[in-house]
Amino acid sequence: MAKKKVATKLEREHMSKVASLGCLVCQRPANVHHIRPIGLGIGMRSGHYQTIPLCYDHHQGQFSIHNCKEQFEAMYGTEEELLHRTLKEIKNIEQVNNFFNLKGENQ
């Protein structure tokens, strides 16, 4: 857990994959939200690999993870649950891409 720092190339690539999933709630275009585990202080955030995709409304809007965290998590899951889902979706996409890349090489 670190203060805001410049993302490395690999971290930027990961966050791009996260955002490309679309909002976990409504599937609209998304930006990344750095999860904030319990005990992490104000102005602190998790690393760039601990991000989930949320559209503006679900990230910072009136009913969002930033403005109504308890209600948001009650409806959609905790940040940790959403992170697990995000990482699982990225892994599934990478497995499919690897399958088709390997299949193409064998033909």
Greater confidence (101 vs 19) lies with 19
Confidence of residue 36 (pLDDT cuts 50, 70, 90): confident
Range with the largest mean pLDDT of 29-38, 44-53, 74-83:
74-83
- pTM score, whole prediction: 0.82
Cα Rg of the chain (Å, integer):
15
Report the candidate in 11, 39, 29, 74 with the shortest Cα–Cα distance to residue 82: 74
Average pLDDT, the chain: 87
92 exposure class (CB count in 10 Å sphere: 0-12, 13-18, 19+): exposed
- Please name the residue that has the structure tokens 């585990």: 37
Whether 38 has a pLDDT exceeding 70, the answer reads no
Please compute, for residue 12, the number of CA atoms within 13 A of its CA located in the half-sphere on the CB side: 5
